[in-house]
Amino acid sequence: MKVYVVGGMFVIGFIGMMINGLEFFTLSFLITLSGVIFYILFKRLYGGLYKVDAQQYPINPKTKLAQGDLWRIGISFIIFGLLMFVGSFVIAWYEGAWGPDYYLETYGSGLLASFWSMISICRRGGLAGTTLCIVLHVIGRKTDALP
């Protein structure tokens, strides 16, 4: 049941990002990356649930993160990486005829004015996220006590 509820919300959110436009699609994935960075920072600064119950929420001494965090972060990177990569093709098709002119006219200059630069960021970011997932998965399997 949880899979349907979470999956449904995830699909609705992803479609919502895509129909809002390429700039929101690109920036939302870049902002998501900041969430992972802040999680790692705050986990190291404040300890998280380890401070509440060290037995139930053990810390990996090598990474200073919770047991399995590298693996879970890797899973999030593959999900977002694949969505970003595949979504870049869909949104390029969806906005392709009018997209480049619209963004140039709306934003004038800079990253948001360049339709194909944003598409390139999505594609390269998607591939990088997928590659990072593989690296984190391998490191996580070696450093964390996972089944």
C-alpha span between 100 and 118 (Å, rounded):
10
Instruction: Considering only residues 47 and 18, tell me which one the structure prediction assigns the higher pLDDT.
Output: 47
**What is the average pLDDT across 104-115?**
89
Domain count for the chain, please give it. Answer: 1
Which residues contact residue 41 at a Cβ distance below 8 angstroms, ignoring those fewer than 6 apart?
none
Encode pLDDT of 55-93 as tens digits.
887 888 888 888 888 888 888 888 888 888 988 998 899
C-alpha span between 111 and 117 (Å, rounded):
7
φ/ψ of 59, rounded to 5, equals -100, 140
- For helices 22-46 and 115-143, what crossing angle results, to 10°? 30
What the block records as the tokens of 125 is 């970011």
Q: What is the average pLDDT score of the chain? A: 84
C-alpha span between 130 and 128 (Å, rounded):
5
Q: Which residues pair with 59 in a beta bridge?
A: 66
The range of the structural domain enclosing residue 38 comes to: 2-143
Q: Does the structure show a pLDDT above 70 at 98?
A: yes
- Residues 140, 147 contacting (CB under 8 angstroms): no
